[in-house]
Amino acid sequence: MQAVLRAREAFLSGRTRTLEFRLQQLQALLTMITEKEAEISTALKQDMNRSQYDTPLLELISIENEIKLAIEKLAEWAAPRPVEKNLLTISDEVYIQPEPLGVVLIIGAWNYPWALTLLPLVGAIAAGNAAVVKPSELSEYSSLLLRALLPRYLDKDLYPVVTGGASETQELLRQRFDHVFYTGSSSVGRLVMEAAARHLTPVTLELGGKSPCYIDRNCNIRTACRRITWGKFVNCGQTCIAPDYILCEPSVQGQVVDRIRRTLLEFYGADPKCSPDYGRIINQRHFSRILSLMEGYTPVVGGQSDASQCYIAPTVLKDVPPHSRLMQEEIFGPLLPIVTVSDMDDAIRFINEREKPLALYIFCSDKKAVRRMMEETTSGGVTVNDVMMHYTLSSLPFGGVGHSGIGRYHGRHSFDQLSHQRACLVRTLGMESLLSSSPADDITVRLPTSWPIRCVGPGQDSVPVIQFTHKLI
C-alpha cells in the first residue's frame, strides 16, 4: 500500500527525530481543531445527531488539552531518564532513552470519531513516529472531513489518512507496522491482534465490555441517578465506558427507576425524540441489534423507537435476569438494565464471575466498603460516586484489562506506550587495569568526596574508598 510505503520512507528520513519538528506538527494539529470546530460539529451532527454543545465537551476540549500538555511536557518526556546503578556500573552513564517505534497504524472508532482517532495520533507525533490514520467508515461525514483536513495541516507523507471499509482495513493489517493502535469491539480486536501477530507487531487494544455500576442502598440515590443518567444516555449510550448495567438491592430498585425517570424528563423533556440534546444510533444495523436486545422485556422507562431516524428512546428495564442475552454482550446503546443483588458481597461475586470490565462505578458513602469493593474486583479504571470522570484526567492511564483491552494511553502514558524504552549504558575505555588485575591483588578505588558513599577511616574527612579483595578459595 503506497500510503504505508511513503510513511515508512518519510520516517526513515529522520525528520521526526527532532523535538522542533514534533512540536511544529502538534501545534498544527491544535490549529486544525480550533479553526475547523464548526465543520467538525456539522459532520458529527450529520453522523449521529450530536448536539453542537456536546461536541466540544465530549471530543474537542480533550484533544486540545492533550495537545497542549504534549507541547508543554515534550522535552521532559523525551529526555534521557537516569536509573539506579550498581557497584560495577558506578562510574558509567546509565539511563533509559525513549525512542520512536517507527510507523504506527491508528484505527479509530465511530462513536467519538475525532477524539478516539486524534488522541492516539497526538501520542504518536509526540513520540516521533509516523502514523497511518484509518478513521471508521461508519461515521462517514467525520471520516471524509478528517481525510480532507489532516493533509492541509500535517506532513502528508508522515501522517496519511486512509478511508474505506473492512476491505481497506484488512489490507492495511496485511502490511508491516511497528505498532497497531485499535479502538473498537473485542471481536474485531481479536482479528487485529491476530493480524499483528504475523509480523510480531505490538498492539494497543482499546476495547469495551459491560461496565457495571453498583448503587449502595445507603448512598444519596438522587445524586447517583443524575450522574448515572448523564453518563449512560449521553451520545445515545454509544460510549465504551458508559455504565452498561446497574446492580442494586431490591429495596431501592423502585427508587432508582423513579429518579432516573425524573432526571430524563429534566434532561431531554417529555419526548427525547424532539430534544436537540439527544442523539441517534449510528446506523440501521446497530439500531436493529439494540432493539433485539429488548425482546421479551417490558421497559419501565422509555422503549419507543423510530427506524426512519435510528431513534431509540432512553430505556430502563428492571429485574433483568443475570443470564439473559441483554447481560451477555455490551449494549452500546440507550438501554439500561437493572439487576438486583442481595448485598455488596453478591455484587462483588456477580462482577468477578464475568469478564474484566473497562470501567467500574461504585456509588457508596461508606469509604471502608468502597475500598473493599475496589480491592476485591478488577477493571480497567474505576470511578467512585460518579461515572466516566477518570477518562478526563491525562495523568491517569486509560485502558482495559483482559477482555476489555491491552495497553494504555492519555498524556505521558500515550508517549510511553508509543515509544521504545531503550536501555543505555555508556562506559569509558579507561579502568582497564582494574578489570585485568590478578586474583591475588587488593585494589582500592578512590572516589570523589561528593559521592554518596559511606566514608572509611578514623575521621570525618577521610576519603571514601571501596576495597575489592580477590582471594582464591
Query: Would you name the residues annotated as active-site residues?
Result: 206, 240
- In angstroms, the CA 381 to CA 388 distance is 9
As given in the structure block, the three cell numbers for residue 251 are 429495596
**Which three cell numbers mark 174?**
496485511
How does strand 419-426 pair with strand 381-384? unpaired
Cβ neighbours of residue 124 closer than 8 Å, sequence gap 6 or more: 104, 106, 130, 131, 181, 414, 418
Q: Tell me how far apart the alpha carbons of residues 151 and 145 are, in angstroms, rounded to a whole number.
A: 11
Q: Residue 357 to residues 210, 211, 240, 290, 413: CA-CA distances in angstroms? A: 6, 5, 10, 20, 20
Tell me which long-range contacts 87-90 makes (C-beta under 8 A, separation of at least 24): 87/466, 89/425, 89/427
Sequence letter at residue 242:
A
Q: 108 with 119: CB under 8 angstroms? A: no
Distance CA(143)–CA(207), nearest Å, equals 20
What are residue 32's phi and psi, to 5 degrees? -60, -45
Q: What is the dihedral of CA 381, 385, 391, 394, to 10 degrees?
A: -100
The DSSP bridge pattern shows strands 179-183 and 130-134 to be: unpaired
Instruction: Give how far Cα 469 sits from Cα of 438, 440, 444, 445, Å.
Output: 11, 8, 9, 11
